[in-house]
């Protein structure tokens, strides 16, 4: 069967169909890239406004060259713009820390040293100032790479790892410095293969303009490893990957699947996906574009595997842009080399049957079904929809980024009512507005997602300060900012507006806003989103999954996502008193049990939108003497807590439910609710205070 005429073409076409089924087509690749680049833009414009840093996303996630089961990390690079890496003194800039890139006989290919220069003149520093400096001769002081790496203990190489929460992927974060000019060592690449089809002159021009990064890791073979910094051309490499066609991308993914299935254990982990990417780039550079088409996928894969085999023979995998940097140096022993070569030979001689053994994304079984090797389809292959899962992952990553960055900004400002707080919030809004007016399309989208929650917070802060001064009514400035923030998502902006009117005693306006939220909040099409808790997401709502797949991300955020509602202490006068307890949830002992992500928001009141909606309905209808509506709202609150699987602040929902029960004189139910809350979160929970308060009330009532 494997030698029949046209088999390889048929195998390639069926394999391409399998990739379509698992979400590796042009549409999904572009969708994933856009989502990752949107997240990159949101982080960069936010971090840059606070501490002059930018975040870049690299690797398989940003390229759209991964699948659900490959589950690649998000490789992120955090760049400090106060540091200016230069290659000669003509690039020196006043007001920045300028570091001169040095390459000589003592530095490894693809690496450099960073020489300190004076802050006032383009001249070298001649005296080591601290333990992170090394004086290598009379006129040269070098910056050690340990200045960054010593700060972070988790991770590998120059990276530290941020574990993914909820549906967010793990993130490898690298701290780096940027050099605006293209590295001298990489300049021959700009002229290499001038007559080839790929890379195009436009790609090389972009690469040259993008410059490079220096990453705090030295060569393992250097005598002065702590003095070296690796030169990274990640921006250029990303543009190269963006220019590949779908067959080339699928070929790369197949190489990674083969690596993970057949080569990792034998190679003791020394072959990497980056080597596979490098091999692919060389093959694309030296092959006519007409070869890279769907009915030739198997032969293209063989071409790449053959080159990888030659690299193993020579134990040299030259970096695509800096060929002097051997990616295999010191990684492949002779024994491992022979094992890997034997396995590669077996794979190349298999006529494709080896692909049947790939379990990643059920590729092997799916391919056998396509080729009629399996007579009966495997039901489990159709129990999930990879396209939908990819879309969901993109949406959850984006919504979490919005939530985390909102929390990050609030953490930077005073947690009390003041003019400084208002000015800080206003400055954030001005920054986002400027980017929206002057930035790229991607930056405009990013700023539009980020600015609205800040508008709501500013409106609530102004209203809270006004109430503290015993002023009646809502200042027009506060009303304008609250109105500006209404469409941040399905509910949270409107709930903050409703909370303000509730605290002002305007129940008619409050009721009108709550009715509007109820109209918008379709339970099966809306998912809660939050940047606070580390809880796994359970289940998927069918309508939400469909909307996530067919709508663009901005529409999904505005129409299908419900952020948690945050009230800082500066907004306390616009926070219902039942929620104000959450701002003082922690004893001194509790504070010792906070992790780094909880340090700030646990001094705020944070509540999921849907429970807060029903709680405000209960309170508002009580004020309006609408008893039946009030009881319906209480029942909706109970049902929401019992049935909504993805609440992020369930303990808070149970605390406000308990206070509603107290209002109904259902003290035992209230007590049960507080105990359940403590079962959800034992420390840093206002439920302990509520239990003490309730028991004291019960005892006092018994005495009376």
pLDDT, residue 265, reads 63
Q: Does domain 52-234 have CATH number 3.30.460?
A: yes
Confidence of residue 155 (pLDDT cuts 50, 70, 90): very low
What is the arithmetic mean of pLDDT over 330-344?
89
Residue 365 three-state SS: helix
Please report the pLDDT score of residue 561 as a whole number: 95
Local structure of residue 211 (DSSP, 8 states) = -
DSSP label at residue 263: I
Percent of the chain with pLDDT over 70: 93
Which pLDDT value is given to residue 127? 86
Its pTM stands at 0.89
State the Cα–Cα distance between residues 543 and 339, nearest whole angstrom.
Answer: 50
Looking at residue 7, its pLDDT comes to 86
Maximum mean pLDDT: which of 220-224, 432-436, 694-698: 432-436
Residue 602: predicted pLDDT: 86
Helix%, strand%, coil% for the chain, nearest 5: 60, 10, 30
Mean pLDDT of 559-579: 95
pLDDT in tens, 222-232: 888 899 999 99
Q: What is the DSSP string of 134-193?
A: EEEETTEEEE-THHHHTT--SSSTTEEEE---TTPPPEEEEEEEEESSPPGGGHHHHHTT
| Burial bucket for residue 574 (CB in 10 Å: 0-12, 13-18, 19+) | buried
Query: Distance (Å, rounded) from C-alpha 591 to C-alpha 146?
Result: 32
CB burial of 448-481 (b: ≥16 within 10 Å; e: otherwise) equals bbbbbbbbbbbbbbbbbbbbeeeeeebeeebbeb
How far, in Å, CA of 488 to CA of 484, rounded?
A: 9
Q: Of 486 and 219, which is predicted with more confidence?
A: 486
Q: What is the pLDDT of residue 377?
A: 61
Average pLDDT over all residues of the chain: 90
Strand intervals (E) in 469-595: 527-529, 561-563, 565-567
Looking at residue 170, its pLDDT comes to 53
Q: What is the DSSP letter of 603?
A: G
Ranking 120-129, 148-157, 679-688 by mean pLDDT, the lowest is 148-157
Which range, 127-141, 144-158, 545-559, is most confident?
545-559
Q: Buried (b) or exposed (e) across 320-342, using 16+ Cβ within 10 A?
A: bbbbebbbbbebbeeebbebbee
d(CA 400, CA 330): 40
pLDDT in tens, 607-631: 999 999 999 999 999 999 999 999 9
pLDDT value of position 153: 40
Top pLDDT among 383 and 525 is at: 525
Q: What is the pLDDT of residues 11-20, one digit of tens each?
A: 999 999 999 9
| DSSP state at residue 59 | S
DSSP 626-668: -HHHHHHHHHHHHHHHHH-TT-S-HHHHHHHHHHHHHHTT-HH
Alpha helices (H) along 353-418: 363-370, 386-411
Q: Is the pLDDT of residue 266 over 60?
A: no
217-225 LR contacts (CB < 8 Å, sep 24+): 217/145, 217/149, 217/157, 217/158, 218/108, 218/111, 218/145, 219/108, 219/110, 219/111, 220/329, 220/330, 221/108, 221/329, 221/330, 222/106, 222/107, 222/108, 222/111, 223/106, 224/106, 224/134
Q: What are the extents of the domains in the chain?
A: 52-234, 386-703
Average pLDDT over residues 625-650: 96
- The reported pLDDT for the residue numbered 378 is 59
Residue range 657-679: mean pLDDT, rounded: 96
H helix or E strand, kind and range, residue 76? strand 74-86
Whether residue 207 is predicted with pLDDT greater than 80 in this model: the reply is: yes
The per-residue pLDDT for 269 is 55
Average pLDDT of the segment spanning 631-655: 96
Query: Cα(266)–Cα(347) distance, rounded to whole angstroms?
Result: 14
572 pLDDT exceeds 70? yes
Task: Report yes or no: 41 and 443 within 8 Å, Cβ to Cβ.
Answer: yes
- Tell which residue, 403, 520, 510, has the closest CA to residue 46: 403
User: Rounded mean pLDDT of 161-184?
Assistant: 71
Q: What is the pLDDT of residues 274-297, one digit of tens each?
A: 999 999 999 999 999 999 999 999
Joined tokens for residue 328: 């295999």
pLDDT of residue 547: 87
Length in residues, the chain: 704
Task: Choose among 251, 242, 243: nearest CA to 16.
Answer: 251
The model's confidence at residue 2, banded by pLDDT at 50, 70 and 90, is very low
pLDDT band (50, 70, 90) for residue 164 = very low
Compute CA 76 distance to the chain's CA centroid, rounded to the nearest angstrom.
Answer: 9
Which residues lie closer than 8 Å to 665 by C-beta, 6 or more apart? none
528 burial level (CB within 10 Å; 0-12, 13-18, 19+):
buried
């Amino acid at each position: 069967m494997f030698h029949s005429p046209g088999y390889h073409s048929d195998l390639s076409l069926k394999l391409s169909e399998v990739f379509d089924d698992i979400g590796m087509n042009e549409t999904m690749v572009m969708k994933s890239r856009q989502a990752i680049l949107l997240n990159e833009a949101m982080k960069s414009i936010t971090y840059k406004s606070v501490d002059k840093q930018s975040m870049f996303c690299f690797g398989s996630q940003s390229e759209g060259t991964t699948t659900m089961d490959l589950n690649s990390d998000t490789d992120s690079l955090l760049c400090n713009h106060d540091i200016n890496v230069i290659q000669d003194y003509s690039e020196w800039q006043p007001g920045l820390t300028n570091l001169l890139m040095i390459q000589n006989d003592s530095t490894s290919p693809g690496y450099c040293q960073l020489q300190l220069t004076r802050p006032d003149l383009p001249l070298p520093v001649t005296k080591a100032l601290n333990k992170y400096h090394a004086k290598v001769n009379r006129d040269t002081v070098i910056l050690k790479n340990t200045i960054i790496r010593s700060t972070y203990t988790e991770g590998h190489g120059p990276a530290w790892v941020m574990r993914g929460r909820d549906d967010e992927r793990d993130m490898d974060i690298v701290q780096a410095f940027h050099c605006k000019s293209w590295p001298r060592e990489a300049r021959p690449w700009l002229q290499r293969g001038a007559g080839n089809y790929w890379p195009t002159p436009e790609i090389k021009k972009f690469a040259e303009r993008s410059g490079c990064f220096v990453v705090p890791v030295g060569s393992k073979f250097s005598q002065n490893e702590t003095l070296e910094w690796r030169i990274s051309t990640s921006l250029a490499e990303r543009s190269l990957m963006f220019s590949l066609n779908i067959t080339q991308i699928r070929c790369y993914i197949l190489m990674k699947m083969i690596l993970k299935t057949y080569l990792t254990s034998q190679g003791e982990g020394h072959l990497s996906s980056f080597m596979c990417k490098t091999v692919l780039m060389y093959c694309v550079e030296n092959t006519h574009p007409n070869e890279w088409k769907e009915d030739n996928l198997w032969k293209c894969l063989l071409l790449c595997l053959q080159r990888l085999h030659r690299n193993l023979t020579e134990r040299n995998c030259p970096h695509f842009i800096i060929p002097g940097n051997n990616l295999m140096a010191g990684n492949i022993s002779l024994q491992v080399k022979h094992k890997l070569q034997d396995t590669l030979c077996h794979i190349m001689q298999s006529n494709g049957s080896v692909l049947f053994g790939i379990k990643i994304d059920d590729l092997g079984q799916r391919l056998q079904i396509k080729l009629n090797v399996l007579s009966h389809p495997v039901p489990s292959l159709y129990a999930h929809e990879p396209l939908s899962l990819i879309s969901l992952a993109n949406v959850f990553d984006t919504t979490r980024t919005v939530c985390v960055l909102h929390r990050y900004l609030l953490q930077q400002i005073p947690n009390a009512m003041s003019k400084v707080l208002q000015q800080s919030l206003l400055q954030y809004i001005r920054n986002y507005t400027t980017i929206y007016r002057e930035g790229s399309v991607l930056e405009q989208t990013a700023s539009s997602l980020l600015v609205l929650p800040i508008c709501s917070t500013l409106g609530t802060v102004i209203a809270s300060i006004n109430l503290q001064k015993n002023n009646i009514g809502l200042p027009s400035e506060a009303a304008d900012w609250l109105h500006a923030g209404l469409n941040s998502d399905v509910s949270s902006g409107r709930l903050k507006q409703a909370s303000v009117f509730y605290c002002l005693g305007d129940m008619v306006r409050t009721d009108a806003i709550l009715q509007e939220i109820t109209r918008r909040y379709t339970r099966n099409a809306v998912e809660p989103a939050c940047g606070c808790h580390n809880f796994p997401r359970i289940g998927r709502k069918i309508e939400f999954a469909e909307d996530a797949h067919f709508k663009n991300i901005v529409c999904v955020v505005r129409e299908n996502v419900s952020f948690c509602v945050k009230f800082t202490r500066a907004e306390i006068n616009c926070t219902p008193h039942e929620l104000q307890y959450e701002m003082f949830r922690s004893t001194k002992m509790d504070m010792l049990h906070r992790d780094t992500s909880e340090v700030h928001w646990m001094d705020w009141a944070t509540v999921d939108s849907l429970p807060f909606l029903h709680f405000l309905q209960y309170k508002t209808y009580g004020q309006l003497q609408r008893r039946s509506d009030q009881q319906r709202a209480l029942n909706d609150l109970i049902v929401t807590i019992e049935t909504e699987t993805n609440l992020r602040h369930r303990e808070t929902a149970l605390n406000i439910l308990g206070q509603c029960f107290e209002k109904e004189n259902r003290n035992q139910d209230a007590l049960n609710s507080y105990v359940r809350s403590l079962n959800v979160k034992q420390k840093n929970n206002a439920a302990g205070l509520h239990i003490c308060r309730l028991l004291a009330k019960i005892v006092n009532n018994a005495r009376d």
